[in-house]
Amino acid sequence: MVGIVVVSHSERAAEGIAEIAAEMAGDTRIEPVGGDGQGGIGTVPDAIEAAIAAAAGGDESVGDAGDLDPVVVLVDLGSAVMNADVAVELSDAEAVIADAPVLEGAVNAAVAATDPSATVESVREQAEAARDVDKL
């Protein structure tokens, strides 16, 4: 199974995007994370790392990365990318950041992750395919 993390500068936005994607996700773990940890706008690497661990099926104290599922991380903009990079580097789980629009990418990733043969690369590719979706 491949987990998904939705990172936004707004905690409410991350939760809403994860809620929408979860409609398509089956048993896929989708973890929202956002805000500065004090109720404001921003992102925090430690919180993103914890969300990656949860989406991977572990927690921050997990020491054996072999027991963790891979994770695709979707971010909204700017410093979320930088902080997600830091979190991915610190994480014990295999995690990649998708270069995708966060909402459409999360939905595509959720659908892709339901495939029993899904890999971190196949889920990331489907998330990134959302860049080419016309809305009108």
By annotation, the residues acting in catalysis are: 9
Pairing outcome for strands 30-34 and 95-98: unpaired
**Residue 50, φ and ψ in degrees, nearest 5:** -65, -40
Question: What count of residues does the chain have?
Answer: 136
Question: If 0-12 CB within 10 Å is exposed, 13-18 middle and 19+ buried, where does residue 109 land?
Answer: buried
